[in-house]
Structure 1
């Protein structure tokens, strides 16, 4: 009888376990600081504060990855540009969907536990519906929204704890009268010109030391030429000189109350800088410095409209308390005559004190940016042997086609890699006949996160070759109105492709291998201790590559573009890989709304 009783007790306990609600423990500072040593969860956007996106799990490896199969699929119910990095804590997955909806899902089964439906307070979405993830901390889930709000949700129930505005998302941003003139008067613009935008936020917040840190997007003002056919990528970007937009910012808020702690504006009053005609890394800028200096007095207040969006969560060094992040292009995009000077701190990598928001250093990759070369991909922190000494560094995959490595304390450029995409006419000025420039407005590496294997000293990155034609245009005086000067950036309609690359950081940026893909790559990569690199494509393929050779070992077609960064986590001693499959409207990739989790066969 005792044996039967024991069996019945075990069965009863198993039934209770299966029926019990799945609840994650609150995530405190200790767990976040120690996330790098947590082999089961994925607690931060980049897995750890260093943003390395490298998984120490090795149950899935080069020998068995060919047997990988879907374990479950969760449908968000929203088919739109899908860029989220799911977070996993204690068997619960937290997902942000397009339009800033948030869901908690049982990571074992894909069953939805709770759901927050966001109701935007404006229809002016600055940058489309995409959201790149949430943050966990102190029993809350934090999401930044398409209408520039920061919201704290209860981690267990999804109920709103507090909801604050980051900025006025409905404030006017653009030249409506110039836009109508462009649409009606220029036969080269074969489509509707749009772009009077509000503000928003689409990156994941970062939680640290009782604060939630987030930046805004939508301030690098540029008009968009809508595509003339469904499913096609963006037709063009139109730049019109003038006072449009506002400065961007990165800000910290009290995690319990939402009260503002500090704010760092991404432009400064003396933003003209030194009027450099060559980048710090030695590439000519082809600027008319004399003309810019002559225009300073007329445009002395240009910094007030200067742009500088924030496209990713910062990386953080908890030991020094420094934040590292990139800043977007200046406003107005592509049109530089109304913003003379270097336009600090736009198109720069920046280090701030996390406690105060005070700037420590900046490194401007592209002074007086006319080409849309945002510092958009998240920086990564690691240690590297420099001259026989282990040096804390920060690396960043740029839109201009190099991987930059800086001294973490000073910002000094230590080296840049070999070019990982073709470079043609870099930093050449727009012309009436059109100047073809590569990388184009999309990069290089766009917002896509990279993955760094710090032990091997290798960075893996997903990039695109998509040249653009830059034209300077003038619409003549009409009905007594002054001429309209504008710039037209047209991405190529053929010949574009993607490049997945492995770069040896110990060898000063030597390219180890590259894999060419049919579609430009945007979304991000994951490397693992199992010797694998995972990457998705706009055609729906999700693939695993050998980290040493670049050989493709496995693929699965997800039915919609895989344009989001993968993650890996472990439950019950088993490793899983998860990715969002929902495409991207701006690049013309098929949209959907699924999160797919893969594992080895049982």
Structure 2
């Protein structure tokens, strides 16, 4: 919703101008402690500094991939067309490079790879699940030579789920994050740590999984850890010094706008979630950065936190100078199905009903593809994209809310819930609580005018379960999967809301999507199969199985006039736990590798 929790209004922006909640910045370490430096210290070969001008004009460098979603618009479209529909059948492995990050500790036997590789003039930068950064020389085209490795020294036994989705490039720095909440500046030439900032306290559940978004002299950092009870926020740091500039929470404190949507006497807002797992988008025209927030916590127990629970399950549009919230849109108020809405926000310029519109296209985890006006959040359209959906009968075409939504109720039931989730017992939810499309990056091709998303097809049984934590009874979720989960790749038309094409996979797709000027869409499935599809029909044109699960997105780049497709291989703990309905995959082994393909 783009106004208040009661319906679609456009007058709420003024009321939200004060919704920046600031706390003192954490200490900056400069330089880093001994022992955190890279090996070896000296890099071979120089790469150009990444300036603000280069990031604003990233489309002028099709050979490079300078930020996690390629450009500020988060469309993950590459105009490279050397690999195309006619010759993709000849795609083969150019080289592979082993990446660390697999050995773990405690309850985390593996550290899966979820990052998008960045490429700057023949040098690639990747990060493993523990936050170790690798600079790889890919200029040769026949091998990937590791130039340096920066190990941040994370205590792996203390990390809940090892997860890291990429790095950022700024000037001559590679900027990365760690699970325990640090942002680290590494010298791109030498691999030495230059500076680190502890953004928030991991003892409160806080974590970092998404690379910062570089905008001018700012690093926009989205906090995670909502599942562990963090009260999450988007924080701006000075990109040169690490000093905190502003902070905006996704869960308001008492007396702040939206706080009335957190009922009960549990002070649920103090650990309300609303995590930011995925790097946001940026619109240079409006100076707004758009981020998706996660579910309220505890995720399956709305009785603990009665109300709509703003600003969880939402898109937040923040002023980049001040952090003030200009608009928001909440997709599933009072969520009890873990429908985080953290995914990529595509910024699309197109005609709708004959008029030029500045759109936001979004594959919701709840199974609907949404189209909004990105300048003010106004809802335009929503259409189901998953095959099976039972939690609602649809989206109200005027408000953008589920049709069952009742603003007078403190506990929403939608179609499948009961007034008391605690008393209800098991219910079958479709789509799966992971989606649909989860945090997996999506793509929009200006060549076809279509948005592409890959994800999960299937359902799950969800039960609210009483558990004792810290001496208190808390309600969490018991999950039962009694059917095989599949996957899909879907093409949606943001101007009409129509589903134009879809192809189904035997296995879930935890990877993500990239579309290209060669008329191709690349994605990957959990069994380790990378596929290329026709960007109109989604017919499969090529596939390659790497023999280990994939939960990282593909990307494409060029060196010396030759195009390559790259992807990190090695599934994470989360997908590994979802293989129970595919017994043939129970012995699938994980690895930690970079695969690069070419003609």
User: TM-score, structure 2 length as denominator?
Assistant: 0.81
Q: Distance in 2 between matches of 1:118 and 1:558?
A: 29
Q: Tell me the equivalent position of 1:505.
A: 494
* CA distance in structure 2 between the aligned counterparts of 1:320 and 1:574, rounded to whole angstroms: 36
What is the CA-CA distance between 1:271 and the residue it aligns to? 8.7
Contact 2:62/2:79 (<8 A) preserved: yes
Q: Does 1:93 align with 2:124?
A: yes
Does 1:439 find its partner at 2:431?
A: yes
Is the CA contact (8 Å cut-off) linking 2:206 and 2:226 kept in structure 1?
yes
Query: What count of residue pairs does the alignment treat as equivalent?
Result: 507
Q: Deviations over 1:18-41 (max 9, x none)?
A: xx9322111000000000221110
SS class of match (1:555): strand
Does structure 1 retain, via aligned residues, the 8 Å contact 2:448–2:535?
A: no
Shift of 1:259: 0.7
- Corresponding residue of 2:54: 31
SS, match of residue 550 in structure 1: coil
Tell me how far apart the structure 1 counterparts of residues 126 and 309 of structure 2 sit (CA, whole Å). 36
Deviation at 1:47, TM superposition (A): 0.6
Alpha-carbon deviation of 1:297?
Answer: 5.8
* Equivalent position of 2:217 in the other structure: 210
- Structure 1 distance, partners of 2:562, 2:156, is 44
Describe the shift of the 1:555–1:214 C-alpha distance in structure 2 as closer, same or farther (beyond 3 A). same
1:401 matched to 2:367? The reply is yes
8 Å CA contact retained: 1:82, 1:592: no
> What does the per-residue CA deviation read over 1:397-425, in whole Å, with 9 as the maximum and x for residues that have no partner?
11111111110111011111233331013
> In the alignment, what sits opposite 1:135?
168
Q: How does 1:52-451 map to 2 (within 5 A)?
A: 52-79=75-102, 80-108=111-139, 109-120=143-154, 123-126=157-160, 128-171=161-204, 198-221=205-228, 245-269=229-253, 296=263, 298-299=265-266, 301-426=267-392, 427=414, 428-429=416-417, 430=421, 432-451=424-443
Q: Which has the larger radius of gyration?
A: 1
CA distance in 1: counterparts of 2:466 and 2:172, whole angstroms: 56
Contact persistence 1:421–1:464 (CA under 8 A)? no
Cα separation, partners in 2 of 1:22 and 1:440, compared to 1, 3 Å: same
Matched, 1:469 2:485: no
Matches of 1:271 and 1:157, distance apart in 2: 49
Q: How far did residue 363 of structure 1 move?
A: 0.4
CA apart distance, 1:121: 5.1
- Cα distance in 1 for partners of 2:190, 2:466 equals 56
5+ long unaligned stretches in structure 1:
1-19, 172-197, 222-244, 276-291
TM-aligned CA deviation for residue 318 of structure 1:
1.3
Structure 1: distance between partners of 2:130 and 2:466: 37
1:465–1:520 contact (8 Å) kept in structure 2: yes
Change (3 A) 1:93 1:329: same
CA distance in 2, matches of 1:165, 1:202: 14
Distance 2:256 2:54 in 1: 43
Flag the 1:272–1:342 CA change in 2: closer, same or farther, 3 A.
farther
- Render the CA deviation track for 1:114-138: whole Å, top value 9, x for unaligned: 1101212574324x11210000011
Name the structure 1 match of 2:556.
Answer: 568
Contact 1:125 1:199 in 2 (8 A): no
Query: Cα 1:413–1:502, aligned 2, differ >3 Å: closer, same or farther?
Result: same
- Quote the residue 1:527 is aligned against: 515
SS at match of 2:89: helix
| C-alpha distance in structure 2 between counterparts of 1:57 and 1:64, whole Å | 14
Q: Is the 8 A contact 1:272 1:341 kept in 2?
A: no
Deviation at 1:591, TM superposition (A): 2.3
Q: Quick check: 357-366 or 431-440, which moved more?
A: 431-440
**SS of the counterpart of 1:587?**
helix
Q: Which string of whole-angstrom CA distances, capped at 9 and with x for unpartnered residues, describes residues 514-537 of structure 1? A: 111111111201111101111111
Q: Is the 8 A contact 1:353 1:360 kept in 2?
A: yes
The match for 1:592 is 591
How far apart, CA to CA, are the structure 2 residues paired with 1:547 and 1:529?
Answer: 10
Would you say the 8 A contact 2:386–2:431 is kept in 1?
no
RMSD after superposition: 2.2
Supply the distance in 2 between the matched residues of 1:400 and 1:272 (Cα, whole angstroms): 28
